[in-house]
């Protein structure tokens, strides 16, 4: 069996993986691993190449790509492009990667019927303020802030990206980690890696694990201590109610339904397997909101490959 990566939903929706490889490798396959801190957690990369120097270079290139995404898109960096967009309502000549992510976010908003919406950040800010006082906002509070949410109010182009109304704000926590994983894989390929694995909060892979087997991922059932082991030739992302929540029962958490302004209640976690980590990341968030119906629609459209749904009682169902 190929080595397993344990997928856990952690703070702010980021994941952690135990990256591993076989001890016995073919002579032409030299693995190297590196880790760093980004997106509020430890990110890890593993590259396999014809020699150790190339593998080390590939790891370094992958981590550099991850850190570039973080510098552009972190809400915890006041100088990031997304922080500046939120602060000023406009961003002149954004970085091409920022434009790409924002455009992909808008495309996922349209294809998910608005279930994926990066303009929900004012809702998170509202709930975070009330959590600081040990409570929840009122229906009126949520309704007032809900008026600031709407993906069509985000205008994106290379010259300038703009928010339509004062008080609007963007979060890319539901797509940036997947985008970072994809860019890290590209960076590894560009310097000669023949295979590799990236944990940038969501998981992406290139090639296969040593001995030609698929990479293996252990998906965890939130709060219930069970795992589901799957083989992976693509990318996987997980959204869950546990990483950042505003009530002890996890009824109120960091994922918001843009239509209601409240957290969706049907599911505890969603894992999505897709061709890219960006797709998997965005769709896992969207399906947390849209549930089984949206999962089946995404599968029918071949936007995703597989979906793992976990309800609030810990019952897990695969859709493919």
pTM assigned to the model: 0.90
Whether 262 contacts 256, CB under 8 Å? yes
- What's the pLDDT score for residue 250? 77
Phi-psi region of 306 (alpha: psi -120 to 50; beta: other; left: phi over 0): beta
Which of the residues in the chain have pLDDT under 50? Answer: 1-27
Neighbours of 50 (CB within 10 A): 14
pLDDT value for 257 = 97
Burial of 139 (0-12, 13-18, 19+ CB in 10 A): exposed
Residue 9 β-bridge partners: 15
Helix (H) or strand (E) holding 193: none
Is the alpha carbon torsion for 200, 86, 130, 137 positive or negative?
A: negative
pLDDT tens-digit series, residues 210-249: 778 888 888 888 777 778 888 888 899 999 987 677 777 7
Angle at 126 between CA 123 and CA 130, to 5 degrees: 140
List the domain boundaries for the chain. 81-163
Residue 142, pLDDT score? 97
Residue 14's pLDDT is 27
Q: What CA–CA distance (Å, rounded) separates 135 from 272?
A: 32
User: Which of 1.10.10.10, 2.40.10.10, 3.10.20.30, 1.10.3980.10 is the CATH number of 81-163?
Assistant: 1.10.3980.10
Tokens representing 279 are 């797709």
Give pLDDT, residue 28.
Answer: 61
């Amino acid at each position: 069996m190929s080595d397993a990566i344990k997928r856990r939903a952690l703070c702010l929706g980021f994941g952690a993986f135990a990256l591993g490889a076989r001890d016995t490798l073919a002579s032409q396959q030299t693995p190297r691993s590196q880790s760093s801190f980004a997106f509020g957690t430890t990110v890890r990369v593993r590259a396999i190449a014809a020699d150790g120097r190339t593998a080390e270079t590939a790891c370094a290139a992958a981590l550099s790509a991850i850190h570039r995404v973080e510098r552009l898109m972190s809400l915890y960096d006041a100088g990031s492009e997304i922080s500046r967009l939120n602060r000023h309502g406009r961003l002149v000549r954004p970085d091409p990667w920022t434009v790409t992510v924002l455009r992909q976010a808008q495309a996922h908003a349209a294809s998910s019927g608005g279930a994926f919406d990066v303009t929900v950040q004012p809702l998170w800010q509202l709930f975070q303020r009330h959590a600081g006082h040990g409570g929840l906002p009122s229906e009126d509070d949520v309704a007032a802030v809900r008026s600031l949410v709407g993906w069509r109010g985000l205008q994106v182009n290379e010259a300038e990206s703009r928010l339509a109304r004062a008080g609007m704000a963007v979060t890319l926590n539901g797509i940036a980690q997947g985008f970072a994983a994809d860019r890290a894989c590209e960076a590894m390929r560009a310097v000669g890696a023949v295979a590799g694995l990236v944990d940038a909060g969501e998981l992406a892979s290139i090639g296969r694990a040593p001995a030609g087997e698929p990479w293996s991922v252990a998906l965890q059932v939130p709060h219930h201590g069970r795992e589901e082991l799957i083989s992976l030739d693509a990318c996987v992302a997980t959204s869950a109610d546990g990483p950042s929540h505003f009530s002890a029962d996890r009824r109120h958490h960091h994922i918001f339904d843009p239509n209601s302004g409240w957290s969706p209640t049907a599911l505890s976690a969603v894992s999505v397997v897709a061709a890219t980590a960006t797709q998997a990341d965005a769709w896992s968030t969207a399906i947390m909101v849209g549930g089984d119906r949206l999962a089946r629609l995404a599968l029918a459209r071949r936007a995703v490959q597989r979906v793992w749904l976990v309800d609030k009682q810990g019952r897990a169902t695969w859709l493919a």
